[in-house]
Structure 1
Amino acid sequence: MNIVVLVKQVPDTATERKLRAADNTLDREASDGVINELCEYAIEEALQLKEKHGGEVTVLTMGPDKATDSIRKALSMGADKAVHLNDDALHGSDALQTAYALAQALRTLEFDIVVMGSESTDARTGVVGAALAEYLGLPQLTLAGKVDVDGGAIKIQRQTDYGYDVVEAALPAVVSVVEKINEPRYPSFKLIMQAKKKPVTKLDLAGAGIDAAKVGLANATTTTVDFAAAPPRAAGVIVKDEGGGGAQIAEFLAEKKFV
């Protein structure tokens, strides 16, 4: 079984994230880059599928040069090889353009399942998985909390507000996972050393067959018109309960439209 897991490098959520004044895009140099949290769950699920069914796991990343660090982290978790889609013309691509570019890159690979996180912490659009499946003409199984593969069929438990739905499809398919699906493993020292020797294939627009007119900031279907820094947090309100504390709290909640 050939499994491709999509991995995105995002700014560390523990640091302040900034936009670039020059073009209103995310300033990825302003903070350290880390693997998107939900991507780690996708990596773990891909590895578990490999351990159960055999085959290999390929990491696919779209990002600038510094995304190499996240690729090596994914390889050190146990993935077999990686593909890095990297081209300056991709800068500023929105979610739909990203899905298109990833679909083109995937067409250069052989795969049975594409596994990815359900959203990223930098944009939180949550639409790339569905758009990717549409571009590829494949079934989409989203918000998976459990994945089972049986021969040429795949079945997931799709997380919902009331529990879960069971969704089935034929392979190949695109699957997005939620954080409750597993517990990502920590790379061992042995795997960290092995990761340095694992192959990483570089792809640019030409190599992936990507039309330059369909990607990049100038061709984006969505855009950030303006932005401003968040105002400093105001001092909190202290309620001293002298018999009417409950009523004051209720009034405060009603004023903020929480109740």
Structure 2
Amino acid sequence: MKVLVPVKRVIDYNVKVRVKADGSGVDLANVKMSMNPFDEIAVEEAIRLKEKGVATEIVAVSIGVKQATETLRTALAMGADRAILVEASEDVHADIEPLAVAKILKAIVEEEEPGLVICGKQAIDNDMNATGQMLAALLGWSQATFASEVAVEGENAVVTREVDGGLQTIKVKLPAIVTADLRLNEPRYASLPNIMKAKKKPLDAKSPADYGVDVSPRLEVVKTSEPAERKAGVMVGSVDELVAKLKDEAGVL
């Protein structure tokens, strides 16, 4: 079974994001970029399925700028077999919207015919949490979101997913879309030999036009601003004092 894993290039999660002075967006100058953490978990899960003999090939896909080649090389170094880069923009500040990404992925899925697509549940830059669901809708495939455990049993995937009330286990018919949550696994580090081997693995370059998809933005960012700073907390000496502050100052009681 072939497994397709979409990955996105985002600001590294350890970096403190800076907003441009004019509020037009996030400052990306001299900022470290890396693979979206949830996508990294998705790649790891695909590799584990291959190690179990369930998956036969892992294809990593990225849709964005040319620099996303580095992100795909990371996926290849982790253990993906080959990669596809769809260069949809030359501007590193441009963010391809989920619907356009899903349409391109749909065309790639129809071309590659994977038995399973594993996505990160969301990207940490825009937090849309929409691409996996949109892709499932466009393909008419089963979907299992927020996965914390995945097992393939014959023609089905058994997925444990995190919901507000705890854990929910569902069985979906393959082919299917699975979106990975934080507790699905712990991604491995790429070893130096695998990093060197990744440079020789196939990486195909495509464009949205190859798949007949228009990636023109439908949304306009009006303003970007940093969140308001939180006020310092107050220490109270007793429960009675806490109740009084909640009632008189916070007005929540």
Q: Give runs of aligned pairs for residues 194-209 of structure 1, distance below 5 A.
A: 194-209=197-212
Q: Give runs of aligned pairs for residues 150-169 of structure 1, distance below 5 A.
A: 150-169=153-172
* Cα distance in 1, alignment partners of residues 180 and 138 from structure 2: 19
- Compute the displacement of 1:194 (Å): 0.7
Residue aligning to 1:63: 64
Residue aligning to 1:111: 114
| TM-score of the aligned structures, taking structure 1 as reference length | 0.84
Q: Give runs of aligned pairs for residues 169-180 of structure 1, distance below 5 A.
A: 169-180=172-183
| Structure 1: gaps spanning 5 or more residues | none
* Cα distance in 2, alignment partners of residues 151 and 134 from structure 1: 23
Is the CA contact (8 Å cut-off) linking 1:7 and 1:59 kept in structure 2?
yes
Q: Secondary structure at the match of 2:67?
A: helix
Note closer, same or farther for the CA distance 1:99–1:51 as it changes in structure 2 (3 Å cut): same
Q: Answer with 148-157 or 92-101: which moved more.
A: 92-101
Identity %: 31
| Structure 2: gaps spanning 5 or more residues | none
- Compute the displacement of 1:86 (Å): 0.8
Q: Secondary structure at the match of 2:112?
A: coil
Is the CA contact (8 Å cut-off) linking 1:36 and 1:121 kept in structure 2?
yes
Note closer, same or farther for the CA distance 1:54–1:101 as it changes in structure 2 (3 Å cut): closer
2:225 is aligned with what amino acid?
Answer: A
| TM-score of the aligned structures, taking structure 2 as reference length | 0.86
Residue aligning to 1:14: 14
Is the CA contact (8 Å cut-off) linking 1:108 and 1:208 kept in structure 2?
no
- Compute the displacement of 1:197 (Å): 0.6
Is the CA contact (8 Å cut-off) linking 1:17 and 1:30 kept in structure 2?
no
RMSD in angstroms over aligned alpha carbons? 2.6
Q: Figure out how many residues of one structure are paired with residues of the other and give that number.
A: 249
Q: Answer with 38-47 or 161-170: which moved more.
A: 161-170
Is the CA contact (8 Å cut-off) linking 1:92 and 1:216 kept in structure 2?
no
Q: Secondary structure at the match of 1:107?
A: helix
Aligned match of 1:141 in 139, 144, 154? Answer: 144
Note closer, same or farther for the CA distance 1:258–1:133 as it changes in structure 2 (3 Å cut): farther
